[in-house]
């Protein structure tokens, strides 16, 4: 299969053609990653302000620290 996982038509001849049809760009991917990273860092800072010490800056590590504290 050449299409992206989320392609509704699954009829493109290549992954690139599928991405172009969906109007995906590296800017879009980079922005999504930056937004996720910013959200994780904000959640980490809030957890530290709340007195928690997460094992990392991922949402999973932050949630684990919150669960362990409750």
Q: Tens-digit pLDDT profile for the chain (70 aa)? A: 688 888 999 999 998 898 888 887 777 777 878 888 999 999 999 999 999 999 999 999 999 999 999 8
At 1 the pLDDT is 66
At 31 the pLDDT is 81
Question: CA-to-CA distance for 47 and 31, rounded, in angstroms?
Answer: 24
C-beta neighbour count of 19 within 10 angstroms: 18
pTM exceeding 0.85: no
Query: Which residue matches tokens 């709340």?
Result: 50
Question: CA-to-CA distance for 1 and 11, rounded, in angstroms?
Answer: 9
């Amino acid at each position: 299969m050449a299409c992206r996982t989320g392609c509704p038509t699954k009829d493109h001849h290549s992954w690139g053609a599928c991405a172009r049809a969906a109007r995906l760009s590296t800017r879009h991917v980079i922005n999504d990653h930056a937004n996720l990273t910013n959200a994780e860092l904000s959640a980490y800072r809030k957890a530290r302000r709340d007195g928690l010490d997460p094992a990392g800056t991922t949402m999973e590590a932050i949630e684990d620290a919150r669960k362990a504290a409750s």
